[in-house]
Amino acid sequence: MSNKKRGTKAATKQQRTLAEQADRHVYYERAVQDPKNDAKTLAKLFRRYRKVEPLVLREDFCGTATLATHWTKARADRSAIGVDLDRDTLAWGQVNNVEAAGGDVAARVNLIHGNVLDAGGPKADVTCALNFSYCCLKQRSSMLAYLKATRANLKKGGVFIADVLGGPDSMAAAEDTHDHGDFVYRWEQAFFDPLTHEMECHIHFDFPDGSSLAPAFSYEWRLWSMPELCDLLAEAGFSAVHRLWEKTDDAGEGTGVFFEPHRVENWDQWWTYVVAER
C-alpha cells in the first residue's frame, strides 16, 4: 500500500501543470513588452526635440531590464541604468537579460536596487517610466517628488518619457485577452474607483492544459490623467511638456506614428506618450 502511494505521488510530480512550470517573467516579456521597438521609439522621441543622438537611458521601474538591455545592445556607445525596488525581478533580469546579452553589453548596463524617488546615479539623456508603472505612486505629493527626482537625474537637455493610459474603457471593470498560441494573456481591470482614480489590475496567463497563473502579476494603481501629469511636470520644473497622440490610418487603426495635437476625440481606450524636456 505504502509503496503504491509513493508511486502515485511520484507520477503526479512528473505531471506538473504548465502553470507550475512557467516562469512568469518570461511570459510577461512575451505578452507585454516590445523592448527593441520601445528603444527605437524612445530615441526617435528624443531626437524630435534634441537634434543629437541619446546615449544614456535610465529605465525607472525597470523590472527585468529588458528595455535597458536592448537600448544598450543597439549601439556600442550607449549605456543604461535600470532602477527597481524588487530585488528578485532585478536579479532575474541581471542573469536572463543583461548577462545573457554578453560581456560588452553587460558592462554598460547598471542595475540599481533602489527607489525611483531617490535621486542619484549617473545622469541620463532619456529617463523613461513605461507600462504605467509610475501609477503605483498614488499620492500627488509622491508623484511630484518622483518627477522632481527624475528631472534632477537628467542631463541638461535630457527628456523624460512616460506612457499614459486612458479612455472610458480604462476607467471601468473590464477584461481583455490575447491568444499567443502556447498561452493566453489576460488583462483584468478588477476595479476602478472614481473617488480616487485608484484601480486594481491583474495579469493572468492561461495555458493549454487548463492551468493558469492567475494572477501572475497584480497592480494597485492610481490612473493619472494626461492633464494631471502635465500639471505635475510643469510644477516639477520641466521647461516644456508635449502631449503626443497616435496617428490612425483610414480604417482607424494606429500607425505607430505619434503627433502633437491640441485636440483629439476620446477613444474607448488609448495609450500614448507624454514627453517632458528638462
List residues binding another protein (CB under 8 A): 140, 166-169, 171-173, 191-197, 222, 225-228, 230-231, 243, 245, 261, 263-267, 270
Reading phi first (left if > 0) and then psi (alpha if -120 to 50, else beta), residue 196 is in alpha
Fill in the amino acid letter for 196: T
Least spacing, CB of residue 89 vs another protein, in Å:
29
Cβ atoms of 153 and 120 closer than 8 Å: yes
Nearer to another protein (CB atom), residue 119 or residue 173: 173
Nearer to another protein (CB atom), residue 120 or residue 261: 261
Strands 240-243 and 270-277: antiparallel
Nearer to another protein (CB atom), residue 109 or residue 171: 171
Nearer to another protein (CB atom), residue 45 or residue 67: 45
Least spacing, CB of residue 266 vs another protein, in Å:
4
Cβ atoms of 127 and 154 closer than 8 Å: yes
Least spacing, CB of residue 207 vs another protein, in Å:
31
- Cα dihedral 28, 33, 36, 39 in deg (nearest 10): -130
Measuring CA to CA, which residue among 219, 164, 213 is closest to residue 186?
213
The three-point CA angle 66-161-269 to 5° equals 90
The label of the residue with cell 497622440 reads 245
Least spacing, CB of residue 272 vs another protein, in Å:
8
Least spacing, CB of residue 165 vs another protein, in Å:
11
Nearer to another protein (CB atom), residue 71 or residue 267: 267
